[in-house]
Amino acid sequence: MSLQRICKNGRLFMRVLMRNKPEKKVTYEQVMFLHSFLPQKIIISTSSNIHDNLALEDWLYEHSDLRTPVLLLWRSSPCVVFGRHQNPWTECNVPFCEQNGIVLARRKSGGGTVYHDEGNLNCSFLTERKIYDRRRNLQLVVNALQQRWNLPLSINDRDDILLYQQYKVSGSAAKLARCKSYHHFTILCSVDKLRLTSILNTHLTGVSSKATPSVKMAVANLAEHVPGLGSLDVQHAITEHVLANNEAATVSYADALDETQYPGLAALRAEISSWEWTFAKTPPFTINRRLSPTERGNALIDISIKVRQGLICEAELQVLQCSGAHPQWFLTLKNGIQGVKFDKESVINALSGVKSQWINEDLYGSQQADFLDWLLLAVMQTTGVANSSLDHQLFMSA
């Protein structure tokens, strides 16, 4: 083997070796030198509606010249935001959110599910793809907060910002395209943690799915270290820090409803707030449950519901044990829910339709009524689209 080839192979080998080394951490000093990576345009949204703000972010991503890096800041009224490939029904209590006016939204970036309220600040760094660097963005914010309030913050391997090296105060997600990118993250300033914990818990069980699951961690608010600290204070701190370090930076306020300034934004908003995007984009999943009424001790029924693109594409009922059962009950039920849209109204209507059909076919006698009512309720509970006692009462009286 010639010396030339040895050297060429050696260099290539070393390059391969170096490529597999862990990413170098960017220090703040390096960030300071990389002046062109600092945001040039700080845009603060005046809307507190999550769909408005996700649409605005999308608009800036599609239409802005990101050679000028942008930092978009916004705060939302109570909402749950899940990642591009997540299942909202396994990530949060969907019926509770729908009943209590908590908006549900699917974002276009990856990552896990978060709860927002006015105590949370969202930061989105929109840049060219070649300067995409999550740690650099997080380091900038950490330094802004540490300089103002001396907060004991650190960044872990998952690009979460931690308080006391233990409690998560920020979670990141990103979207990457050919030439552009955005990295956005939450900052928990004074969020209602009790509400967060109860909402980000699902009652749905028996689900198998390829959807990306959230990684749950203990969370904390910055206000636990600096009493009275709010998201507006943090917004000011970050803005002032960027302005102090980048004399070319500008701040402006964005009205997400201004179609003149943002032509096409309304269409983006319509897409992001649509049921098709929010729910039908959920990766296919199957719910398997074994049903057994306590009053009818011998009955044992396995139910399997497969949901794809927001529809119940398959429903199977396997009766393992049920004395006196009429096969037509289960056939009518299976056919009645197959093809139905996977939401509360559609499922309740479908099950009510099944009950009507049983009555019309003389299958719903006084002796079977209790069992059949229980069966319909059990199927509704299995789907998880409606699980409050109010929903059940409405259903039973339908």
Partner 1 sequence: MFQNFWTNLLCGGCHLEFLNRKRNDRKEKYFSDKHEWVDVDEKNKTATVGVTHYAQDKLGEIVFVQLPEIGQALEAHGEAGVLESVKAASDVYSPISGKVTAVNTTIVDNPKLINDSPYKDGWMFKCTVGDPKDLVGLMDEAGYEEYVKTCD
C-beta closer to partner 1: residue 17 or 194: 17
Q: Does 19 bind partner 1 (CB under 8 A)?
A: yes
Strand-pair partners of 42:
71, 251
Q: Does 102 bind partner 1 (CB under 8 A)?
A: no
Report the alpha-carbon angle 288-80-110, nearest 5.
80
- Phi, psi for residue 348 in degrees, rounded to 5: -65, -45
Measured between alpha carbons, how far is 172 from 267 in angstroms, rounded to an integer? Answer: 26
Shortest Cβ distance from residue 105 to partner 1 (Å)?
A: 15
Of the listed pieces 172-180, 191-199, 346-354, 378-386, which binds partner 1 according to CB under 8 A?
172-180
Answer positive or negative: Cα dihedral of 270, 276, 282, 288: positive
Q: Does 87 bind partner 1 (CB under 8 A)?
A: no
**Window 136-165: residues binding partner 1 (CB under 8 A):** 158-159
Q: Which of 46, 68, 77, 84 binds partner 1 (CB under 8 A)?
A: 84
Asked if 139 contacts 150 with a C-beta cutoff of 8 angstroms, the reply is no
C-beta closer to partner 1: residue 85 or 193: 85
Q: Does 10 bind partner 1 (CB under 8 A)?
A: yes
Other beta carbons within 10 Å of 151: 17
The 3-state DSSP class for residue 176 equals: strand
Q: Does 111 bind partner 1 (CB under 8 A)?
A: yes
Q: Does 12 bind partner 1 (CB under 8 A)?
A: yes
Q: Does 308 bind partner 1 (CB under 8 A)?
A: no
Q: Does 306 bind partner 1 (CB under 8 A)?
A: no
C-beta closer to partner 1: residue 1 or 194: 1
The 3-state DSSP class for residue 82 equals: strand
Angle between helices 369-383 and 327-337 (to 10 degrees): 30
Of the listed pieces 13-21, 47-55, 266-274, 300-308, which binds partner 1 according to CB under 8 A?
13-21
**Window 209-228: residues binding partner 1 (CB under 8 A):** 210-212
CA distances from 101 to 79, 87, 96 (A): 8, 19, 9
Answer positive or negative: Cα dihedral of 367, 368, 371, 372: negative
List Cβ neighbours of 32 (8 Å cut-off, separation of 6 or more).
Answer: 245
Q: Which of 49, 87, 93, 109 binds partner 1 (CB under 8 A)?
A: 109
Q: Does 34 bind partner 1 (CB under 8 A)?
A: no
Of the listed pieces 205-213, 224-232, 271-279, 335-343, which binds partner 1 according to CB under 8 A?
205-213
Report the alpha-carbon angle 103-106-110, nearest 5.
140
Q: Does 173 bind partner 1 (CB under 8 A)?
A: yes
Q: Which of 41, 168, 175, 241 binds partner 1 (CB under 8 A)?
A: 175
Shortest Cβ distance from residue 174 to partner 1 (Å)?
A: 4
Q: Does 85 bind partner 1 (CB under 8 A)?
A: yes
Of the listed pieces 4-12, 216-224, 340-348, 350-358, which binds partner 1 according to CB under 8 A?
4-12
Of the listed pieces 66-74, 144-152, 206-214, 264-272, which binds partner 1 according to CB under 8 A?
206-214
C-beta closer to partner 1: residue 16 or 194: 16
List Cβ neighbours of 3 (8 Å cut-off, separation of 6 or more).
Answer: none
Asked if 312 contacts 342 with a C-beta cutoff of 8 angstroms, the reply is yes
List Cβ neighbours of 84 (8 Å cut-off, separation of 6 or more).
Answer: 106, 107, 108, 109, 110, 175, 281
Shortest Cβ distance from residue 259 to partner 1 (Å)?
A: 26
Residue at 159: amino acid letter: D
- List residues near partner 1 by CB under 8 A: 1, 6, 9-10, 12-13, 15-16, 19-20, 83-85, 108-112, 158-159, 172-178, 210-212, 283
